[in-house]
A and B are shown apart, each in its own frame.
Chain A
Amino acid sequence: MTRDLEPAVRDAWHVLCRSADLAPGAATRLRLLSRDVEVARNAAGTVSARLLDGEAVATREAYGHVFACLGTPAAPLFDIAEFAEDDRRLATCGAVRVRASGLRLVENFLDMAHFPFVHTDLLGVEERPEVPRYDIEIRRDVDEVWATNCRFWQPRAAASSAEGQMSEYLYRVAGPFAVMLYKTCPADPSRFDVIGLLIRPAEPDLSYAYAFVLVLDEASSETAIVHFQQTIFLQDRIVLENQRPRLLPLAPNAETPTRADMSSVAYRRWLKEKGVRYGTVEGLAGHGEAEGVP
């Protein structure tokens, strides 16, 4: 049933839901990669999942979420080392539905140039829109895309910050549909806050976004942290649902990247090298259910 999926997507780990959404004894049905998956937690607390036609699929529970792999896992679930530091607080924001390719969501997450316009007065101001040069690399050993030395001036970079700062960012694409950033922590400039966006691609042009925040922030309530992230994500969602086409084009001339888009250029190149087609314009013919894609 998963044979038509390319290995780069079939054998990768994808988020299914938050751990908290699955109580002991509960089961729920979710859409992943155009398949129905039933995920359940037994009385002992162990999570399992199967395709609706019966085949069991590999699952992992980590980082406050449940992950699944529809094929044979090509690698262990990506490691987020900061989860081992016990002075950090985890806030999970829950699922937001977005009518767009999950790949578009990742690309938006990697992008700093939109801060002044989409997150005006929160993550950027119109007076300071410049994106200084940053570095980008595809790390072959771990098969990840990294953007480093990213800097951007921000008026209110986190739930805990009241004034502006030159924020420093590291971006990390850990899977085709999993991305995170490490960002100057207002409470302790020697360490980074971690913000992640895990995407469940339900259809090529329909995604569920699960954001999480792993912060060193003792002052803000968990609800305040979640509300801040939800605010940011809903601002992005307007853009994501109104990009045309809804699927990500991999053809180099389909859109117009500039130097600020180096991370997106690298991400697209990486997707292409891996043979990712799900959620791309090029994969449209291969996957049935992308009706309504203009």
Chain B
Amino acid sequence: MRGGWCPIGLSQDLPAGIAAPVILDGRELVAWRTGEGVLRLFEDRCPHRGMRLSFGFVRGDALVCLYHGWRWGADGGCRAIPAHPELTPPKSLVVPRFAVREAGGLVWAALGDGPDDPPPETPADVRPLATLAIDLPADVVSAALGAGEERLVEKEEAGFALLLAIQPVDARRSSLHVLLRGADASPLAALDAAEALRMRIEREGAPA
């Protein structure tokens, strides 16, 4: 699993100019988009004093740390240290970056260098529905969905063709990013079906 592509969210939930925390496989990461829309995934820890960068904010093409305002560029390099306006930050001052890609309305990440293969394709007729948090580890959710090793599965639920992307969060939690196939299906009714599915997985998967 480590090194392979994992879904971390719906593209529509990460608009330009925002930073959001992502917990993937127990690691704290921050996904952010520059004002122009370039998507990046960093370690969620500022090299200065360890502040989580997901608490910062995006200014133009930089992610600004909440604590002391150090600016981090899309390449991970430090652009400015406000306490020392005259200082040019050394090139060696960088935040670790991770591979991130978008495909079919989903955002995918890899903890290793990023696999050579692109993330899985989604069919053309899908619409994003919602992200559902689940209080169970991803392997239990995958087993309940019969997903095997796949991170993306299609599931027929109450007459709706749901596309489910499974994100391992940590030892007790996962996220289901839900998309809907078919142009005429009602998204609200499909969300009801997806939430009913979640309820069933949590009931059945709950440790006795």
Residues of A whose CB lies within 8 Å of any CB of B are 111, 113-114, 116-118, 126, 129-131, 238-239, 242-245, 249, 255-256, 258-261, 294
Contacts and interface: CB of A to CB of B under 8 A. Distances in A.
Given A244-B45, A256-B93, A260-B84, A113 B68 contact: yes
B85 A129 contact: yes
5 contacts: A117-B65, A244-B44, A244-B51, A249-B50, A255-B50
Contacts of B81: 258
B193 interface: no
Given A244-B52, A255-B50, A129 B69 contact: yes
B28 A116 contact: no
Contacts of A256: 47-49, 93
Interface in B35-85: 44-45, 47-52, 55, 65-69, 81-85
Given A242-B55, A256-B48, A118 B67 contact: yes
Contact of B55 (A131, A238, A258, A294): A238
Contacts of B206: none
The 8 closest A-B pairs by CB, nearest first: A129-B82, A260-B83, A113-B83, A131-B83, A242-B52, A243-B50, A117-B69, A113-B68
Contacts, number: 70
B183 interface: no
Contact of A258 (B28, B69, B87): B87
A245 B52 CA distance: 10
A251 to B, nearest CB: 12
Nearest to B43: A244
Nearest to A112: B83
A116 B66 contact: no
Contacts of A249: 50
A103 to B, nearest CB: 12
A244 B68 contact: no
A125 to B, nearest CB: 11
A258 B83 contact: yes
Main secondary structure of the interface of A (DSSP, over half): loop
Interface in B73-120: 81-85, 87, 93
B83 A130 contact: yes
A129 B93 CA distance: 20
Between A114, A116, A118, A261, the greatest number of chain B beta carbons within 10 A of the residue's beta carbon is seen for A114
A126 B50 CA distance: 21
Between A117, A131, A245, the greatest number of chain B beta carbons within 10 A of the residue's beta carbon is seen for A117
Nearest to A236: B67
A259 B50 CA distance: 17
Given A113-B68, A255-B50, 16 more contacts: A116-B69, A117-B82, A118-B67, A126-B82, A129-B69, A129-B83, A130-B84, A243-B50, A243-B67, A244-B44, A245-B50, A256-B47, A256-B48, A258-B48, A259-B84, A260-B84
Contact of A255 (B47, B52, B83, B84): B47
A113 B51 CA distance: 14
Nearest to B80: A129
B10 to A, nearest CB: 25
B53 to A, nearest CB: 10
A258 B84 contact: yes
Between A126, A242, A255, A261, the greatest number of chain B beta carbons within 10 A of the residue's beta carbon is seen for A242
Contacts of A129: 69, 82-83, 85
A258 B89 CA distance: 10
A183 B48 CA distance: 26
Contacts of A118: 66-67
A131 B87 CA distance: 12
A244 B28 contact: yes
A114 B84 contact: no
A130 B84 CA distance: 6
Contacts of A126: 69, 82
Contacts of B67: 114, 117-118, 239, 243
Contacts of A259: 83-84
